[in-house]
Amino acid sequence: MQVIDQRRLPHRFVIEDLKTVNDVCTAIRDMHVRGAGLIGVTAAYGMYLAAREAAGQNDFDEFIRIAAGKISDTRPTAVNLAWAVEQMTNAMKKGRDTEEKTKIALQTANEILEHDIACCRKIGENGLKIIKKISLRKKRGVVNILTHCNAGWLAFGDYGTATAPIYEAFDKGIKLHVWVDETRPLNQGSRLTAWELREHGVPYSVIADNTGGYLMQTGQVDMVITGADRVTRTGDVANKIGTYLKALAAHDNNIPFYVALPSSTIDWKIRDGLSEIPVEKRGGEEVNYMEGLCDGEIKRILVSPAESNAVNYAFDITPAKFVTGFITERGICRANEKNLLELFPEFV
């Protein structure tokens, strides 16, 4: 399997080969690949690689079981990862022998990827309606959209979630401008979202994470769109650290705050975000150090006093009450259980 090593972007475009389950686990844990949808898709192909590796082992099923556990344990918050591993495990159980199980694994991984792409496309079409309305209200003036982290095509099989409506609107000729939160500590906004938007030709400005509130108070933001890593059936949202603060500021300034997600990001088993969503804590070095281009070379620099203790929660929880609506593959709904179930009645 080949992936873009996202740690190198935006300054280098590096393709990495992942050949074994261990390669896949390292790539997900160390964030060569990241973003809820993409880690789900990578996990699915990781299970296919596990099936190929298992062919040379004494106990095929036991090898697959251990691989499923290892892959699921790499990152805890985005539910798409566990969801994809479960889909793969259930599908592979239907195979009669190792050959058939391996064939099913590849087929299912391809289906998960295709499904992910199709969902993002639909999210784009559905979200376009909201941007169009704002554009008409502004008499076709520039629509200013704030986004946090990277929920673009890099974070999924293609198109992305938060960026899908933006690309759709831009391609249809709607004038827009995107405020890109840098998203410390790993800067998924300034490194990845800015790179994606630049490649697509969408006007954007990178802002320091603390800028959004002031922009909202001064009428420079028309809407916020973020992605999600896990959503409860009641509509609480886990997303990149800092999302909650943007939602609070948007609420205080009456600015619509939308979350774009495929239904594979909804964890129908849980109701309360704060107590039930596992929030990943990563190493403090991600806070103490920053990486960037210096004299043509990628360099890592220390930005805190040497040996500072640093705390690094990777996600936070935005309560449903601060979310204006969800943009999903089946349409737009309010962030509550009743409205989510109207779109997805199979989970009643």
The catalytic residues are 229
Interface pick for ligand MRU out of 50, 91, 155, 223 (rule CB under 6 A) = 155
CB of 216 to ligand MRU, least distance (A): 19
- Give the three-state DSSP class for 153: helix
Q: Which residue is nearest to ligand MRU (CB)?
A: 227
Element (H, E) at 103: helix 98-137
Binding map of ligand MRU across residues 120-149, x = CB under 6 A, - = no contact: -----------------------------x
Interface pick for ligand MRU out of 112, 228, 266, 277 (rule CB under 6 A) = 228
Q: Is 247 in the site for ligand MRU (CB under 6 A)?
A: no
Per-residue three-class SS string for 5-49: CCCCCCCCCCEEECCCHHHHHHHHHCCCCCCHHHHHHHHHHHHHH
Q: Is 164 in the site for ligand MRU (CB under 6 A)?
A: no
Chain position carrying tokens 């898709």:
41
- Going 38 to 44 to 48 to 49, the CA torsion angle's sign is positive
Interface pick for ligand MRU out of 36, 81, 112, 225 (rule CB under 6 A) = 36
* DSSP letters spanning 190-205: IIIIHHHHHHHT--EE
β-bridge partners, 145 = 178, 223
CB of 223 to ligand MRU, least distance (A): 16
d(CA 183, CA 249): 16
Q: Is 230 in the site for ligand MRU (CB under 6 A)?
A: no
d(CA 84, CA 26): 17
Q: Which two tokens stand for residue 70?
A: 């290892």
Q: Is 188 in the site for ligand MRU (CB under 6 A)?
A: yes
- Residue range at the interface with ligand MRU (CB under 6 A); choices 34-42, 50-58, 171-179, 329-337: 34-42
Binding map of ligand MRU across residues 275-314, x = CB under 6 A, - = no contact: ---------------------------------------x
Q: Is 34 in the site for ligand MRU (CB under 6 A)?
A: yes
CB of 240 to ligand MRU, least distance (A): 3
CB of 272 to ligand MRU, least distance (A): 20
Q: Which is nearer to ligand MRU, 135 or 239 (CB)?
A: 239
Q: Which is nearer to ligand MRU, 176 or 189 (CB)?
A: 189
d(CA 249, CA 148): 13
Tell me the CA distances in angstroms from 61 to 44, 48, 140, 234, 332, one per residue in order: 16, 13, 58, 36, 41
Contact 81, 25 (CB under 8 A): no
Residues ≥6 apart with Cβ < 8 Å to 285: 310
d(CA 65, CA 16): 26
Instruction: In the chain, count H helices and then E strands.
Output: 12, 15
Q: Which is nearer to ligand MRU, 279 or 341 (CB)?
A: 279
- Residue range at the interface with ligand MRU (CB under 6 A); choices 32-40, 51-59, 113-121, 291-299: 32-40
Interface pick for ligand MRU out of 161, 163, 187, 328 (rule CB under 6 A) = 161
Q: Is 242 in the site for ligand MRU (CB under 6 A)?
A: no
Q: Is 239 in the site for ligand MRU (CB under 6 A)?
A: yes
CB of 322 to ligand MRU, least distance (A): 16
Binding site for ligand MRU (CB under 6 A): 34-37, 149, 151, 155, 161, 188, 226-229, 239-240, 314
